Structure 1
């Protein structure tokens, strides 16, 4: 069996805004009735995070719960913990209609860090990123240029971006180009 490697293999583009591969990240997509008490409990038990509201993320370090849609969550956890977490989900939701799937190797996580990260992101996504509209704790599924992506702000000067592994190189290069374009002075 081969060793797992991240899509970007540790790639980093330093600068006023640094773009970097976040490395391997465990991700489970969970579809089901998000109002169900057993589903909510297993998610919070696995991550230690509170259950997120619509359009939000509850995250700390490398664990989190991301609201993806009215019937879908993305569970973030250490890469090595995915099998254990899936077993917990299966045990907790037995007899219910749900789908839980390991998507860790199908996705990439990119960090965008620095003084004008909002401007870097605003150049490539149609989301309103004004501080009054988007900040830490908010989560969006949208796109970067023409590729699907999801993102949030762990801190005021950092974005975390998830995209499909197949477009990770493109997303990384797009973010680097946006950062090299410099500050616009909007935010």
Structure 2
């Protein structure tokens, strides 16, 4: 019988530091999509706040903290990242385990905005994209979720199947920015 070994999406390819920017994998625990049933968004937000200490996020926003975060993911959809969802949430929303579908990385350092400016068609400068802001956007040619989690730090989520492409694209952008220093 074959003995399977679970590996993280970025096993063997991260972390990397180039210039002043570091790309590392984040172990965020579990990830669940949460889609409120019609007319239940306010009740869901209250239930999430009671159970997990964070409200259902507004469009283009994330709520919570590093170990427990709700990230807006599009119309009527958020990702609950970190905690196992309270069972009461399933009475107000469709809650689906997405843990194995996503890779989550952290990009941080003084030149992080310059790196992302080469790949993302959204203004991510701190003057307009503050901590807690999030965007579903393209990162080079793939779909991604980009969330500012610190003054010079971003959390990026892509489909697990795209993680090698993500690391390749970010590494090239990091090298380009570092070569200009």
Partner of 2:87: 87
**Contact (CA 8 Å) 1:43, 1:75: kept in 2 or not?**
no
Q: Which string of whole-angstrom CA distances, capped at 9 and with x for unpartnered residues, describes residues 138-165 of structure 1? A: 1100011111100111111111100000
Partner of 1:110: 105
Runs of 4 or more above 6 Å deviation: none
- Residue 14 of structure 1 aligns to a residue whose secondary structure is strand
- Structure 1 unaligned blocks of 5 or more: none
Matched, 1:174 2:177: no
**Displacement after TM superposition at 1:2 (Å):** 5.3
Distance 2:56 2:28 in 1: 23
Alignment CA distance shift 1:107-1:46 (3 Å): farther
**Separation in 1 of the partners of 2:97 and 2:161?**
16
2:8 is the alignment partner of 1:6: yes
Report the Cα offset of residue 39 of structure 1: 1.4
Number of aligned pairs?
A: 175
**Partner Cα separation in structure 2 for residue 113 and residue 34 of structure 1:** 38
Q: Distance in 2 between the 1:43 and 1:108 partners?
A: 24
RMSD: 2.3
CA change 1:37–1:181 in 2 (3 A) is same
Partners of 1:6 and 1:45 in 2: CA distance: 31
Unaligned stretches of 5+ in structure 2?
none
1:21 corresponds in structure 2 to: 25
TM-score normalised according to structure 1 size: 0.83
Contact 1:47–1:65 at 8 Å: present in 2 too? Answer: no
Normalized against structure 2, the TM-score is what?
0.85
